[in-house]
Every structure is written in C-alpha cells, then in structure tokens.
C-alpha cells in the first residue's frame, strides 16, 4: 500500500485522523484479502475487486465509506479502470430515493408508495447488472401514471448537486455580452479542464481523457456546454467511456460505452430488460440543471436521442424561458 501518498491525499481532502485511520484499515483489509490469493493491491484486476465486493456483502461490511475509501486509493494510485468500476458500482442508488421524494411531492404519498412497492435495490456493492430490472419496472410504473408526470419527476436534480457549485458560471453569465458568448466560454473552459486532467494523467469524474477525447469535445460545442438554435439549447452527453466509445465499431457496444447511468447501462448488453428511453429524462435533468440555476427558474427538457432507444449518444433540447428569449430578441434588435 502506498500509505504516505494516500494519507497525504486524504489530508488534502480535509479527512480527520479517525477517517484516515478507517481508510487505511479498509485498504489494508483488501490488501490482506488479495495477498491470500497471491495478488497485489497496486496491480489488482477488476475481477478480484468483484470477488472482494461479494465477500463484503456476505459479511455485511459493504458500507459506502469503505467503498469510497477504496475508490480514493485507486484514484491516487492511477488505477483508472478499477477506480471507475468501483464508482460505477456504488453510485446512482440515491436516485431512487430522490425520485420517490419528488413523486411524493407531486402526486402524494400513496402514489409514491404504489410506484415503489417491491422495488428493493440489491445490496450495496452488487454488480451493475443487478439494477436494470428495478429501473425498468420503475420507469414503466411512472409512465403508467402519465408521460408528463414521468418526465417531470425524472427531470430533477436527483444527484443532489448543490446550486453553489455553479457560482463561477453565474458570474460569467452576468459578465457575458450574450448567451451565445457565455456558452462558448463554458466550452473553452471545460476543454482546458480536460487538458489539465490529461496532462496530469487523472480521471475527470469517471472519464479517462485522451487527446482524441479532447478533440471530440472541441469538435462539438454541444458536449460539455450547449449550442443555441432559436429558442432552444441543444446538449449532447459526452460518452461515459469516451476513449472506448471512440475506438468501438460495434453499434451495441458503442451505445454501452456512451451510457452514464449505472442503473440502466448493463441492460444494453444484457438479454433484457429493455428500459424505455423515458428513463433518460433523469439525465435530461442533469443536463438542464446549470441553466435552471443561471436563469433562476426551471427549464423544460426533451430527450431527442437516447442510447436506450438505439442511438449512439444521448442528446437533449432545453427550452429557453420567455425572459431569456426576450433578452436575446432585444440584443438583436
């Protein structure tokens, strides 16, 4: 274990001494597990991680803190694919609870209880392929209410991203001569962030960045920003595994590498269930969130393309509020 390097990283994240001790113990426990099979934590393979997670579930040691501590270790040691696997395995579960809360707010407790009856998530740390059945059942039950309710409930901030995280962009928006100028500035800034991660050999969120990935983003302002056309903004989701997506020739696998949703992705390569593209309104909610904050009011989003529906990427259309349209018209006039 790279103890000193890991400890320094945790301190930089303001983890207290108890948290650091717990993290070191969690990594040491995995290291011991691997050593019994002749393995090494700094060259571990994903299959060994899967086996260990099964052991944690069996022993009821599958806590989020433990998984987070392991993910952080793989991040600082540059084991990008293992880090991404851990994150993709334990992320997204909060979405179900958030959707339940939103549905209760919109339609009442009885409606929410009926929709979520029997939708019990698998134990934390379970393989991603254990999630799509519940996801499929959830979106179909939401659609049984009606499509407008389904789309409205799903297109919310279900990952709990704080509005304060957009403070820099709010300032830029206020400084910009036009919405179009702002969108160009956002795009340039995010390309520079990707370049920094490439230069440092770090994963950007769960994305492994290569020169080709940066060229992909440079060539399409809809990716990581938006393009305005009339009264709408168009956003294309960066592939979840952009390096693999660019290299892949098979249409099915290309869709798989594009999908960000840990609750649905495996369905693309499994023999069912077929999750309706309406589920992607959840991703649409993520796409529109920054604009909700900038415009200080909710925006409407439509899913134009979805990998769940057979498209190679997910693409969204966001309707501009009347006030923003008026401002654009005034500036042109």
Closest by Cα among 242, 201, 195 to 223: 242
pLDDT category, 333, cuts 50, 70, 90?
Answer: very low
Residues 168 and 199 reside in one and the same domain: yes
For residues 62 and 70, give the distance between their C-alpha atoms in angstroms, rounded to a whole number.
12
Residues 140 and 255 reside in one and the same domain: no
pLDDT category, 323, cuts 50, 70, 90?
Answer: confident
Q: pLDDT tens digits for 104-123? A: 999 999 999 999 998 888 99
Residues 78 and 175 reside in one and the same domain: no
The number of CA neighbours under 13 Å toward the Cβ of 93 is: 16
For residues 329 and 15, give the distance between their C-alpha atoms in angstroms, rounded to a whole number.
50
Closest by Cα among 262, 24, 290, 292 to 128: 262
Residues 189 and 286 reside in one and the same domain: yes
pLDDT category, 294, cuts 50, 70, 90?
Answer: very high
Q: pLDDT tens digits for 250-288? A: 999 999 999 999 999 999 998 778 999 999 999 999 999
Residues 141 and 179 reside in one and the same domain: no
Alpha carbon 321 to chain centroid, angstroms: 26
Residues 39 and 120 reside in one and the same domain: no
Domain span at residue 57 reads 3-90
60, 90, 120: which is the final residue of a domain? Answer: 90
Q: pLDDT tens digits for 177-191? A: 899 999 999 999 999
Residues 99 and 84 reside in one and the same domain: no
Closest by Cα among 172, 196, 199 to 290: 172
For residues 137 and 125, give the distance between their C-alpha atoms in angstroms, rounded to a whole number.
21
Residues 221 and 244 reside in one and the same domain: yes
Eight-state DSSP code of residue 301: E
**How many structural domains are present in the chain?**
3
Q: pLDDT tens digits for 237-250? A: 999 999 999 999 99
223: Cβ contacts below 8 Å, ≥ 6 apart: 216, 217, 236, 237, 238
Residues 236 and 319 reside in one and the same domain: yes
For residues 240 and 314, give the distance between their C-alpha atoms in angstroms, rounded to a whole number.
11
For residues 315 and 247, give the distance between their C-alpha atoms in angstroms, rounded to a whole number.
20
Residues 172 and 297 reside in one and the same domain: yes
45, 61, 90: which is the final residue of a domain? Answer: 90
Q: In whole angstroms, how far apart are CA 295 and each of 152, 180, 298, 317? A: 18, 14, 8, 16
Residues 323 and 181 reside in one and the same domain: yes
* Preceding omega of 311 cis (within 30 degrees of 0): no
90, 105, 127: which is the final residue of a domain? Answer: 90
Residues 45 and 100 reside in one and the same domain: no
């Amino acid at each position: 274990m790279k103890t000193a390097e890991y400890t320094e990283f945790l301190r930089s994240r303001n983890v207290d001494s108890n948290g650091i001790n717990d993290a070191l113990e969690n990594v040491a426990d995995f290291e011991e597990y691997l050593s019994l099979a002749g393995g090494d934590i700094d060259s571990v393979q994903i299959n060994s991680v899967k086996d260990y997670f099964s052991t944690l579930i069996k022993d009821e040691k599958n806590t989020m803190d433990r998984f987070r501590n392991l993910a952080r270790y793989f991040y600082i040691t540059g084991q990008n694919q293992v880090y991404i696997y851990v994150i993709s395995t334990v992320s997204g579960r909060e979405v179900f609870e958030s959707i339940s809360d939103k549905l209760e707010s919109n339609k009442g407790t009885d409606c929410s209880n009926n929709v979520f009856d029997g939708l019990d998530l698998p134990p934390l740390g379970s393989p991603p392929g254990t999630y799509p059945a519940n996801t499929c059942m959830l979106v179909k039950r939401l659609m049984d209410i009606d499509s407008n309710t389904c789309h409205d409930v799903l297109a919310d901030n279900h990952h709990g991203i704080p509005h304060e995280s957009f403070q820099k962009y709010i300032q830029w928006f206020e400084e910009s001569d036009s919405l179009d100028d702002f969108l160009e500035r956002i795009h340039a800034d995010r390309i520079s962030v990707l370049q920094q991660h490439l230069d440092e050999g770090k994963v950007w969120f769960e994305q492994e960045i290569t020169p080709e990935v940066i060229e992909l983003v440079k060539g399409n302002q809809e990716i990581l920003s938006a393009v305005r056309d009339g009264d709408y903004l168009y956003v294309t989701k960066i592939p979840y595994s952009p390096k693999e997506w660019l290299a892949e020739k098979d249409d099915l696998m290309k869709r798989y590498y594009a999908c960000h949703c840990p609750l649905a992705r495996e369905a693309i390569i499994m023999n069912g269930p077929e999750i309706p593209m309406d589920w992607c309104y959840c991703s649409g909610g993520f796409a529109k969130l920054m604009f909700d904050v900038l415009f200080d009011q909710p925006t409407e989003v439509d899913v134009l393309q979805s990998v769940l529906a057979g498209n190679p990427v997910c693409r969204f259309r966001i309707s501009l509020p009347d006030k923003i349209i008026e401002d654009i018209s005034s500036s042109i006039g």
